[in-house]
A = this chain, B = another copy of it.
């Protein structure tokens, strides 16, 4: 007897870059509309990252296809159309994994940096 089997497309999901990470992090405390994420990423990164709309919507498409983010309704505020996005359970897990990975790399790197010999001091007082 033959069975038809569906495989989950695991989608190698190469490696998450900062813009994508910040989008997930921005959605972690509740749904947001697309444009708001530009400001959130700016804030979360301390002004370092200015998301471009091209980057933003491409990332949202990718994350939705991957099942980490889902549409969460639309709204009209002051005549402006807003489309909301939220993290799925899978998205929370993805972000959690990324956080764990960064935490580990961070600790290891800091430990290695601590092992370095003290750098020579410019002026040594006798």
Check A112 for interface membership: any CB of B closer than 8 A: yes
So how many copies of this chain end up in the complex?
Answer: 2
CB neighbours of A21 from chain B (8 A): 105, 109
One of A4-12, A25-33, A57-65, A76-84 contacting the partner: A25-33
Cβ-defined partner of A106 (8 Å) among B92, B103, B109, B113:
B103
Say yes or no: B15 contacts A18, CB within 8 Å: yes
CB pair A17–B18 under 8 Å, yes or no, is no
Which residues of chain B come closer than 8 Å to A54, judged between CB atoms?
Answer: none
Please indicate the chain B residues that have their CB under 8 angstroms from the CB of A115 in the complex.
28-30
- The 24 sampled A-B contact pairs (Cβ below 8 Å) are A15-B18, A18-B101, A21-B105, A21-B109, A22-B105, A25-B105, A25-B109, A28-B109, A28-B113, A28-B115, A29-B113, A44-B105, A44-B108, A44-B109, A45-B104, A45-B105, A46-B104, A48-B101, A92-B116, A95-B109, A99-B106, A99-B109, A99-B113, A103-B106
